[in-house]
Structure formats: C-alpha cells, structure tokens
Amino acid sequence: MPLLNAIVEKSIEIDNKIFLLKVYSPALTANVKPGQFINVRVSETIYPLLRRPFSVCDVEGDYFYLMFNIYGEGTKILSRKEKGEQLDILGPLGNGFNIDGDFDTAVIVAGGLGAAPFPFFTRMIDKEKEVLSFIGGRSSHDVITYEMKNVSVATDDGSRGYHGNVIALLQNKIDELKSKKIKMFSCGPSAMLRALKTFAIENNFECEVSTECAMACGFGICQGCPIESTQHPDKYLLVCKDGPVFNVKDVVI
C-alpha cells in the first residue's frame, strides 16, 4: 500500500451536489479492486489534518474516480481541485468485494452515497453474470444511479420509484430473487445494512457489506475504526484492515 502521487484530471458535479473527481494514477488503477478504498490528504497544511477515506468509485484505464458530496472542509477542498494538481493518496487499502464466487446474479443494494463503489463493481463483474441494482434514498434527491445497470429505485417519500425503503422493495421481489442464484453486495447507512442483514439471513442469501467508520490512518495503526465481530466478541475487527467489506454474518452492524 504505497503512498502515491496522483494528478487531478477534473472535478465534475454530476447531480445534486454529488461530485466526481477524476484522477490520473496508473499505480493505483493497476492494483485496486472493487470495494477497496484510498485515504486522501486533501491539504498540505494542518487544516484539515487527517486524510479522508473514499472508496474507489470507478476505474477507466489509468484514471480513477472518487464520488462524494460536500460534507465538510475536506470535501469542499476536494471539490475545488483543478486539473494538474497533485493529490497525495494512500492505497489501495482494505479488502474489496469477492466478485468471483459461485453465483449467477449480483444484487447490489445501495443507499445514498453508498452507491460510490458500485460503478467500478459493475464494470469489473464477470460479463456472464447478471447485475440487479436496488438503490434507496430518502427522496429522489438522494438517489444515485450513476453508471449502474438494471436499476430499481425506492424512496422513503415515494418521490421516485417504489414508495418505501429499499429492503421492502427487495421483499416485494423475493420470488424473482429466489428464482436465481444470487449474491448480495451492499453499501449504505447502518439502518439499511442492519435490515439487509436480517433479510439476507432469513432468506439464506450470501451477502457482503461495505462498512464505514471514522478513522485516522486507514491501515491499522490508529485503531480508530473498530467493528464488533460475531465470531470473536472479545475483540474488535478494524473496518480499515479487516474490512471495509465483510461477510454480513461476521459483523454486528
């Protein structure tokens, strides 16, 4: 996991204050897998001090993309990066999704910015495998379907697609899901991941989730990002090093 000098190509606002940063870094794109992340130093100064973790949203040749909204000072600075600026990144970090398993259909379940890792995922998954994308949000403004395939949308307020949460939408399609050999892949708010865990276990669906937690280093030394393990309750797993992608059965969400 080297420290890499990457070069910003452009920053694009795709929709509703959702930004894509396109960055040149052959060293990263040669090694990164869907679901892995990088830790970005957005400023050379001491404010903001810490790096910011982002999952790699997509890869095109020597370029990769990050997807983010403006949440605080760090993302504000990132959104203003201009072509040619150096970007200090650490990565690829963590474990990505296991996309090569014995399944015919990848069922993506994403909430809000949890959509971020899935354009790359969709690009990299075996062409023989089917991809179904279930995208949830509070309202149509929170729904991100960028570069996703076979999209079904659920919104809490009914402003787009199914009126209800994305797990209820999955429940509605249970017969279709059960007729296929599926594996679920998910990223999004904790409440959604919790509900998905119950849904996946009840229906005996294999399911991997990408988790998140505040962290300082991203490679295991700060111990800042613990997540409760179901198998070893006496010690925590670390989101950065043991995850961020886990089999949903292995972690308490």
Instruction: Give the binding-site size for another protein (rule: CB under 8 A).
Output: 28
Q: What is the DSSP string of the chain?
A: --EEEEEEEEEEEEETTEEEEEEE-HHHHTT--TT-EEEEE--SSSSS-S-EEEEEEEEETTEEEEEEE--SHHHHHHHT--TT-EEEEEEEESB---TTSS-SEEEEEEEGGGGTTHHHHHHHS-TTSEEEEEEEESSGGG---TT-SSEEEEETTSSSSEES-HHHHHHHTHHHHHTS-EEEEEES-HHHHHHHHHHHHHTT-EEEEE-----SSSSSSS---EEEBSS-TTSEEETTTT-BEEEGGGB--
Give the residues across from 59 on adjacent strands.
64
Query: Minimum CB separation from another protein for residue 235, in Å?
Result: 6
The smaller minimum CB distance to another protein, of residues 82 and 234, is found at: 234
Of 21-29, 147-155, 166-174, 228-236: span binding another protein (CB under 8 A): 228-236
Q: Closest approach of Cβ 49 to another protein, in Å?
A: 6
Binding string, residues 163-202; x marks residues near another protein by CB under 8 A = ----------------------------------------
- Pick from 61, 82, 128, 235 the residue near another protein by CB under 8 A: 235
Structure tokens at 167: 């797990």
The region of 108-116, 143-151, 196-204, 214-222 touching another protein under the rule CB under 8 A is 214-222
Stretch 46-65 residues interacting with another protein (CB under 8 A): 46-51
Q: CA torsion 193→198→199→205, rounded to 10°? A: 90
Options 78, 132, 217, 245; binder of another protein; rule CB under 8 A: 217
Strands 105-111 and 245-247: unpaired
Q: Which is nearer to another protein, 128 or 234 (CB)?
A: 234
Minimum CB–partner distance for residue 131 and another protein (Å): 32
- Our finding on whether 222 is near another protein (CB under 8 A) is yes
Q: Select from 7, 41, 124, 203 the one that contacts another protein (CB under 8 A).
A: 41
> Using the rule CB under 8 A, which residue among 124, 129, 140, 236 binds another protein?
236
219 lies in the site for another protein, by CB under 8 A: yes
Question: Count of alpha carbons within 13 Å of 181, Cβ hemisphere only?
Answer: 6
Q: Does 227 bind another protein (CB under 8 A)?
A: yes
214 touching another protein, by CB under 8 A: yes
Binding site for another protein (CB under 8 A): 1, 3, 41, 46-51, 90, 213-217, 219-228, 234-236
